[in-house]
Amino acid sequence: MKTSDIILKKQNNEKLEYKEIEYMVNSYVKDKISDKTMSDFIWAIYNNGLSIEETYYLTDVMIKSGEVIDLSEIKKPIVDKHSTGGVGDKITLIVSPIVAASGVCVPKMSGRGLGLTGGTVDKLESITGYKLNLTKKQFIESLKTVGCAVISQSEKIAVADKKIYALRNEIGAVDSIPLIASSIMSKKIASGSDVIIIDLKVGQGAFMKNIKDATSLAKTMVKIGKYYNKKVICTLSDMNIPLGSNIGNALEVKEAIDFFDNKYDKRLYELSVYISSLMISSAKKISMSNAKNLVINLIESGHAKNKFYEWIKNQGGNIKNLKDKAKKYIVISEKSGYINKIDSLKLSELVFNLGSGRVKKTDKIDYACGVVLNKKIGQKVLKGEILGVIYYNKKVENMDKEFIDAFTIEKKKKKVKKIIIKTIK
């Protein structure tokens, strides 16, 4: 079998066989072909796409390149949740303890953020003492006793995906629907859950910029799940506006703490309740209405809050000792009116420049920096009122202007779009 023949076949938009995809992927993992050769193969896929069968083949090969976690000894319903990432996305910190408090197990392997936003691992690393690297035995034990555990992605799961994703990122071939779908699903299926809920962000602050492409990606992931007899449900949520009030790793942990103290942003609450309800409904096989009632009760009664603190303590974290030392810069509104737009991309770029994001996984980040929005979408603001606060350890030139430029303030109030766009099963 020749790599040049396989690449040419895909360049000519011909369908690849399982053994051809397997040969390319395994040869690359074993360093038998160069980055240049694999780049040519990736670009052929990027330009011509993959059929659903080819996407399944690629997913399957990547799953088999590493370990598959066996969760069969856990005798409770199990559900995994994945987010494609967005600005201020701290949903995992909120829904994991809510769902665990309902008696459903939430095993979660998360990654570090690349680019403008921090990942769940970065947020948890801002908690002093939190252990992200548990042994398999410790992971299973945490799931049995607490009901949820969030650890860093195992280096032994979907080994091929890690190497291929790094190359895709380097050559700028990230936004390909079949490559994204196989990347996400290979890790999720290898993680062992039979029910997978995906929060697929759409908009300026997400890598999926429009509903059409996001829908296509969602449908592809649902189809891949069916190949493996996994229940996959994708919810498309709006990421044109930041999620919640806080953007930045330690700041987002603080917002999760506030959430369980019944101080929350309306949109953040709405999405958290919906995703939690979807997870519980799917895992327990109950109606969404009953699941939602249960979720609200768990939040209001304090059971979810207790589970949040139990989970963090169980993994060695000291929630009272966050890596949050930073200077504050108060930003004042320059005019009066209604806030009709908050540009999540502009704010994420500012937070990245403050030191919150990374280009390579080995880059050091500032856990304390970020921004807090004092005013929300749809609210009225007066000239001279506090628009928000910038937390920094290194000053960025014109950071106050960058912050202000993210807000569109107009005389007439516009209708705020709902955060949940649609759900695909």
Q: What is the CATH number of the domain that holds 175?
A: 3.40.1030.10
Tell me if residue 303 is catalytic: no
Cα 356 to the center of its chain, rounded Å: 16
CB-based burial label for 34 (10 Å; 0-12, 13-18, 19+): exposed
Q: How confident is the model at residue 154 (pLDDT cuts 50, 70, 90)?
A: confident
Residue 129: left if φ>0, alpha if ψ -120 to 50, beta else—which one? Answer: left
275 sits in which H/E element: helix 266-284
Q: How confident is the model at residue 169 (pLDDT cuts 50, 70, 90)?
A: confident
Residue 30 has pLDDT above 90, yes or no: yes
CB atoms within 10 A of CB 51: 11
Mean pLDDT of 372-393: 96
Question: Of 112, 123, 163, 168, which one is the catalytic site residue?
Answer: 168
C-alpha 243/C-alpha 324 separation (Å) is 20
Q: How confident is the model at residue 311 (pLDDT cuts 50, 70, 90)?
A: very high
Answer yes or no: do 44 and 103 share one domain.
Answer: no
| Range from 113-122, 196-205, 310-319, 399-408 carrying the lowest mean pLDDT | 113-122
Best CA proximity match to 202, nearest among 425, 422, 416, 412: 422
Answer yes or no: do 129 and 265 share one domain.
Answer: yes
Token code pair at residue 277: 């309800």
Answer yes or no: do 153 and 285 share one domain.
Answer: yes
Cβ proximity of 307 and 219 under 8 Å: no
pLDDT tens digits, one per residue of 98-144: 999 999 999 998 876 655 666 888 999 999 999 999 988 999 999 99
Residue 207 has pLDDT above 90, yes or no: no
Q: Evaluate whether residue 256 is within a structural domain.
A: yes
Best CA proximity match to 235, nearest among 281, 204, 193: 281
pLDDT of residue 114: 54
Answer yes or no: do 11 and 127 share one domain.
Answer: no
C-alpha 387/C-alpha 282 separation (Å) is 40
Percent of the chain exceeding pLDDT 90 equals 86
Answer yes or no: do 363 and 278 share one domain.
Answer: no
Tell me if residue 161 is catalytic: yes
pLDDT tens digits, one per residue of 268-283: 999 999 999 999 999 9
User: What does the chain come to in residues?
Assistant: 425
Answer yes or no: do 280 and 396 share one domain.
Answer: no
Question: Of 10, 81, 82, 162, which one is the catalytic site residue?
Answer: 82
Answer yes or no: do 241 and 385 share one domain.
Answer: no
Tell me if residue 344 is catalytic: no
Mean model confidence pLDDT for the chain: 94
**Rounded to a whole number, what is the largest CA-CA distance in the chain?**
70
Question: Three-state DSSP class for 193?
Answer: coil
pLDDT of residue 112: 66
Answer yes or no: do 295 and 339 share one domain.
Answer: no
Question: Of 96, 152, 183, 281, which one is the catalytic site residue?
Answer: 183
User: How many domains is the chain partitioned into structurally?
Assistant: 3
Mean pLDDT of 394-405: 94
Cβ proximity of 55 and 10 under 8 Å: no
β-pair type (231-238, 195-202): parallel
Mean pLDDT of 213-229: 96
Residue 389 has pLDDT above 80, yes or no: yes
Tell me if residue 328 is catalytic: no
Cβ proximity of 237 and 202 under 8 Å: yes
- Whichever domain contains 405, its CATH number is 3.90.1170.30
Angle (CA) 18-21-27 rounded to 5° is 130
pLDDT of residue 165: 87
Token code pair at residue 215: 């829908």
Q: Evaluate whether residue 34 is within a structural domain.
A: yes
Q: Which residue has the higher pLDDT, 345 or 361?
A: 345
Q: Evaluate whether residue 338 is within a structural domain.
A: yes
Answer yes or no: do 94 and 119 share one domain.
Answer: yes
Among the candidates 314, 344, 359, a domain finishes at: 314
Among the candidates 259, 292, 314, a domain finishes at: 314
C-alpha 36/C-alpha 7 separation (Å) is 12
Answer yes or no: do 304 and 404 share one domain.
Answer: no
pLDDT tens digits, one per residue of 3-14: 999 999 999 999
Tell me if residue 34 is catalytic: no
Q: Evaluate whether residue 61 is within a structural domain.
A: no
Q: 274: Cβ–Cβ under 8 A, 6 or more apart, which residues?
A: 235, 292, 420
Question: Of 80, 89, 161, 238, which one is the catalytic site residue?
Answer: 161
Question: Of 10, 112, 163, 187, which one is the catalytic site residue?
Answer: 187
Answer yes or no: do 37 and 89 share one domain.
Answer: no
Among the candidates 251, 279, 314, a domain finishes at: 314
**Structural domain span for residue 44:** 3-49
Answer yes or no: do 274 and 364 share one domain.
Answer: no
Q: Evaluate whether residue 96 is within a structural domain.
A: yes
Q: Evaluate whether residue 418 is within a structural domain.
A: no
Q: Evaluate whether residue 42 is within a structural domain.
A: yes
pLDDT of residue 153: 76
| Residues facing residue 75 across a β-bridge | none
- Phi, psi at residue 264, to the nearest 5°? -145, 155
- Strands (E) across 178-303 are located at 195-202, 231-238, 246-247
What are the CB-based long-range contacts (under 8 Å, 24+) for 400-404? 400/329, 400/331, 402/346, 402/349, 402/350, 403/331, 403/347, 403/350, 403/371, 404/331, 404/333, 404/334
C-alpha 405/C-alpha 394 separation (Å) is 20
Q: Evaluate whether residue 7 is within a structural domain.
A: yes
The alpha helices in 172-210, defined as continuous H runs, are: 177-190
C-alpha 234/C-alpha 231 separation (Å) is 10
pLDDT of residue 119: 83
| Residues facing residue 201 across a β-bridge | 237
Token code pair at residue 331: 């930003």
